[in-house]
Amino acid sequence: METPKTKTTRRSSAAREKRRQGPRGGEASGAGRPSAAADLAGDVAQLRLLLQEVSEAVFSRLEAEAAAVLAALDEKAVPGDAPALPSAERIRALRDVVADLKVKPRKGRVKDLGRIEAVLKVLAARLLP
pLDDT, one tens digit per residue, over 103-119 is: 999 999 999 999 999 99
Kindly report which listed range (23-27, 82-86, 92-96, 120-124) carries the lowest average pLDDT score: 23-27
Residue 108 in any domain: the answer is yes
Domain count of the chain? 1
* pLDDT confidence bin for 31, thresholds 50/70/90: low
Residues 116/100, Cβ–Cβ less than 8 Å: no
Residue 3 in any domain: the answer is no
Residue 99 in any domain: the answer is yes
- Surface-to-core class of residue 69, CB atoms within 10 Å of its CB (0-12 exposed, 13-18 middle, 19+ buried): buried
Residue 4 in any domain: the answer is no
For residue 8, the model assigns a pLDDT of 58
Residue 100 in any domain: the answer is yes
Mean pLDDT confidence for 24-39: 72
Q: Which residues contact 112 (CB under 8 A, 6 or more apart)?
A: 103, 104, 105
Stretch (H or E) spanning 69: helix 33-73
Domain limits at 49?
22-127
- Distance between CA atoms of 127 and 129, rounded to whole angstroms? 7
Residue 81 in any domain: the answer is yes
For residue 5, the model assigns a pLDDT of 62
- Distance between CA atoms of 57 and 63, rounded to whole angstroms? 10
* pLDDT confidence bin for 66, thresholds 50/70/90: very high
* pLDDT confidence bin for 33, thresholds 50/70/90: confident
Residue 65 in any domain: the answer is yes
Residue 86 in any domain: the answer is yes
- Whether the predicted model's global pTM rises above the 0.85 cut: no
* pLDDT confidence bin for 34, thresholds 50/70/90: confident
pLDDT exceeds cutoff 70 at 12: no
Cross-strand pairs, 21 = 27
